Chain A
Amino acid sequence: MNGLMLVARREIVTQVRTKGFVIGLLVTVLLVAAVSFLPMIMGGDSYTLGTVNSQQLPLRQAAPDTEFEWRTFPDEEAAKQAVLDGDVDAVLVDNTRVLTDGEIDSELGVLMQSVNREVKLGAAGVNIPPLQVQSVGADAQYEGARTGIAVVLVLVLFMLLMGQVTMVAMGVVEEKGSRIVEILLSSLRPWQLLGGKVAGLGVVGLINMVAILAAGLLAASASGLAADFPPGIAGLVAGVLVWFVLGYVFFATLSAALASLVSRQEEVNTVLTPLTMTVMLTYFVSFYITTDPTGTLATVMSFVPPFSSMVMPVRMAATEVPLWQVGVSMAAMLLAVAVVLAIGAKVYARAVLRTGARLKLTDVLRAK
């Protein structure tokens, strides 16, 4: 165990110190933070309006999420100039006319018309109760936020998974190709070397993951987006971490086993192709599922390892998933991880000292 820890520590220290790691982490953290602020920058509508000899309309009551800024102009001429300069979006004149530059923003137009009607009717003594909106879908209130979280999640999971899994493969080939492995294996057992590498690079991935999630949550609460988050976001985050670890161990072990078949860095891409394809496929399926998290495909794929490692957290983010389904899916994934660990460790132990031409997986498995 001690050997495994030493190997893992070296991997962590080596990777965390590289420029690539620091820059990569900063960039993703900033991206995630930016995404959290995006709705505020884009979606948070605001209008600047003017009045000439008019009352301000109570627009705020009708559209509480929108900002309105009012200005008063002495006469119509000044108001026209302000409209043409783009200083104001529209000016209400004499409580009857609206000045705009070209066609009015449709949302603003509808809003002003209906509020104006209400005000006039109210003045005439007519009182219209507003329509009550009632959702018949579950949690419709959070649907947008849930989909958003799911999309970001898929992207982050995919990037980290792919990055770390490739790192594992490159590390394995570095050691095999340069024959360091011969010295290493005279004082370590193959499983310690393999386990240490997978664990160390996994910790680096987790550091990334936690940093990104933290940045996302912090930025979301700062931007006010967090108010739209569904309840139980903490549980979701914890779940994501667990699923990430499972998916990572599965793919990283496979990656190490495949990489141990070749001796040169140039061969890594080729030998990893089937694995890369599987990760990509997992990614596409998960991405598709963010648009249809309650469909049959989503439900089925969330049980099939290794797809489940990404599909299930996405499903969980996008919709409510019964606990038993999560349990069954996780058990299946754990089983798959165990199988991959057993086979992968065997392949690695047999192949990593056989330098030279690329080995065939079937030969390695068949050899005594």
Chain B
Amino acid sequence: MLEISDLRKRFAGGPDAPEGKVALDGISFTVRPGEMFGFVGANGAGKTTTMRIVMGVLQADSGEVSWQGRPLGYDDRRRFGYMPEERGLYQKMKVTEQIEYFGRLQGLSAQAAKKSATDLIERLGLVERRNDAVQALSLGNQQRVQLAVALVHDPAVLVLDEPFSGLDPIAVDTLATALQERCRGGVPVIFSSHQLELVERLCDSVGIVSAGRMVATGTVADLRGVESNTLRIVVRDPAPGWSDGLPGTVTVRGDRHILQTADVDDQEVLRRAMKAGHVEYFGVEQPTLTEIFKEAVA
């Protein structure tokens, strides 16, 4: 289990902003084995800073990252897989060599690195490109190599900063599948993204960060529970005044009346609507993650 507790980070200011910039103002969350954690937040909210601190690339001013109950140390961290926000590969190095090299840096033997690189190249569809220099690859293929670099040592934890950005829908699916596989194997996965539908679809739990604070964490269902669910009824040609006394709003579109309400006896409302006219639609609408997100950061 990966626990991030109360991270704080202030960046030193330049001459124009001598007071500096608080990037993290107490970030806490937990990721369990086999859990996929979606990290969302506006630009500049502090996602990248948090991930860099987790990866030891930045030092927090205070707070702690612990892994399996102990403070996360250098040796444990080598078993993590990381994809930084700004991608980085040696442009002139060949695909296979590059993946093998990072595998070795992360503690694999030469043989293990070779085997793992070969496997990944096959799984990620890079076989034809394996002897090409990275600079000769398309952006999508470079992303795959970057992912391979993060996965080569069969990491115990995956930390991916906006791994889906810039990918076409097919590449998104390939990546999503690769992540889900790892996750099912018991690896905690953290990734940040602005594609909220994707986060909603893939993630077991979500953290919403705003201005360096975690404003909401939990499963998508939990977050929905916090928000009140809306009841939505569409009635055609209802008798006038049918919704008098009910909370919520009625929108009239042609001969359709759309009632959006909450905190009511839904069965009672349905009976009234059926008596008043022809019910075309009746349902509880769950807010999308986008709505939850907007609400949370507002």
List the interface of chain A (C-beta within 8 A of B).
3, 6-7, 10, 14, 174-175, 178-189, 353, 355, 367
Shortest B245–chain A CB gap in Å is: 60
Q: Please tell me if the beta carbons of B90 and A184 are within 8 angstroms of each other in the complex.
A: no
Report Cα–Cα, A14/B58, bound state, in Å.
29
List the interface of chain B (C-beta within 8 A of A).
12, 52, 55-58, 74, 77-78, 80, 82, 84, 86-93, 101-102, 104-107, 149
19 contacts between A and B (CB under 8 A): A6-B104, A6-B105, A7-B105, A178-B91, A179-B87, A180-B88, A180-B90, A181-B88, A183-B88, A185-B56, A185-B57, A186-B55, A186-B56, A186-B78, A187-B102, A188-B105, A189-B74, A353-B58, A367-B12
Known: A3-B105, A183-B149, A355-B86. 12 other contacts (CB 8 A): A10-B101, A175-B88, A179-B86, A180-B88, A180-B89, A182-B52, A183-B82, A186-B78, A186-B80, A187-B102, A187-B105, A367-B12
Shortest B223–chain A CB gap in Å is: 30
CB-nearest residue of chain B relative to A367? B12
Q: Please tell me if the beta carbons of A183 and B74 are within 8 angstroms of each other in the complex.
A: no
CB-CB under 8 A from A188, the residues of chain B are 105
Q: Find A182's partner among B57, B80, B91, B102 (CB 8 Å cutoff).
A: B57
Shortest A263–chain B CB gap in Å is: 11
Shortest A225–chain B CB gap in Å is: 41
Q: Please tell me if the beta carbons of A187 and B87 are within 8 angstroms of each other in the complex.
A: no
Q: Is the interface of B mostly helix, strand, loop or mixed?
A: loop
Q: Is the interface of A mostly helix, strand, loop or mixed?
A: helix
CB-CB under 8 A from B89, the residues of chain A are 178, 180
Report Cα–Cα, A14/B12, bound state, in Å.
37
Report Cα–Cα, A146/B106, bound state, in Å.
51
CB-CB under 8 A from A184, the residues of chain B are 105
Shortest A88–chain B CB gap in Å is: 61
CB-nearest residue of chain A relative to B83? A183
CB-CB under 8 A from B90, the residues of chain A are 174, 178, 180
Given contacts A6-B104, A178-B89, A180-B88, contact A353 B12 (CB under 8 A): no
CB-nearest residue of chain B relative to A185? B57
CB-nearest residue of chain A relative to B91? A178
Q: Please tell me if the beta carbons of A187 and B86 are within 8 angstroms of each other in the complex.
A: no
CB-CB under 8 A from A355, the residues of chain B are 86
- Nearest 6 Cβ contacts at the A-B interface: A180-B88, A179-B88, A179-B86, A182-B84, A186-B55, A178-B88
Report Cα–Cα, A182/B149, bound state, in Å.
12
